[in-house]
């Protein structure tokens, strides 16, 4: 039995292809692995707060030295980190907004990249502590950024690979719905490709 963490960050409900494809993946995963535990976190319906000076101070205060106010300030961060620690598989719905991730997803990343909890500094530099986990990222973008002239503007996939890899999540597979602003045919084609990829991933 595996523990799966399913995170959505699209500000849209109706019409969100990152939500649609990731939900289809989850449904097929659940059917294929009925004993698995799935925890869902929606960063839009239940947004996490952006970092504050108080939170940052608490992060860098040893746990045994934190006062009650500091412990309360990072309670949500501790919860988010705990969810990652117990997850064997992470499924992330991450549409592209202005060439990168949503502000809600950035806030989540700021909470889970924690020195001493999800990474540490060793003799040769930073070391990710969340190894041995699988990540599936479902993205959606109005244009095509995986190749061609707009590839240089893709700060979504490059940023997520860097941030996730920094904490040891290096086994990352992207399912990209691209060109969704280019008409109904483009949407139908990218959905078909995404569903084909989902079948392949769940069967693996």
Binding residues for FMN: 10, 16-18, 96-99
Cα(123)–Cα(45) distance, integer angstroms: 41
Pairing mode, if any, of strands 125-128 and 119-122? antiparallel
* Nearest-10 Cα torsion for 13, 16, 18, 23: 50
Strands (E), 72-133: 89-93, 119-122, 125-128
Per-residue CA distances from 9 to 72, 113, 131, 134, 140 (Å): 25, 17, 23, 19, 11
Provide the annotated binding site.
10, 16-18, 96-99
């Amino acid at each position: 039995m595996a523990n799966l963490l399913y995170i959505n960050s699209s500000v849209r409900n109706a019409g969100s292809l990152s939500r649609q494809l990731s939900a289809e993946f989850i449904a097929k995963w659940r059917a294929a692995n009925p004993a698995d535990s799935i925890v869902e976190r929606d960063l839009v319906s239940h947004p996490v707060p952006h970092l504050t000076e108080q939170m940052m101070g608490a992060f860098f205060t040893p746990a045994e030295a934190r006062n009650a106010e500091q412990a309360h300030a990072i309670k949500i961060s501790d919860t988010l980190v705990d969810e990652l620690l117990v997850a064997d598989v992470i499924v992330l719905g991450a549409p592209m907004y202005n060439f990168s991730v949503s502000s809600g997803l950035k806030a989540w990343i700021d909470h889970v990249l924690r020195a001493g909890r999800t990474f540490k500094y060793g003799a040769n530099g930073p070391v990710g502590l969340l190894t041995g986990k699988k990540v599936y990222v479902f993205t959606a973008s109005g244009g095509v950024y995986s190749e061609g002239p707009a590839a240089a503007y893709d700060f979504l996939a490059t940023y997520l690979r860097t941030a996730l890899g920094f904490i040891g999540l290096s086994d990352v597979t992207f399912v990209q719905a691209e060109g969704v602003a280019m008409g109904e045919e483009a949407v139908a084609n990218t959905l078909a490709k995404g569903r084909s990829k989902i079948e392949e991933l769940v069967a693996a």
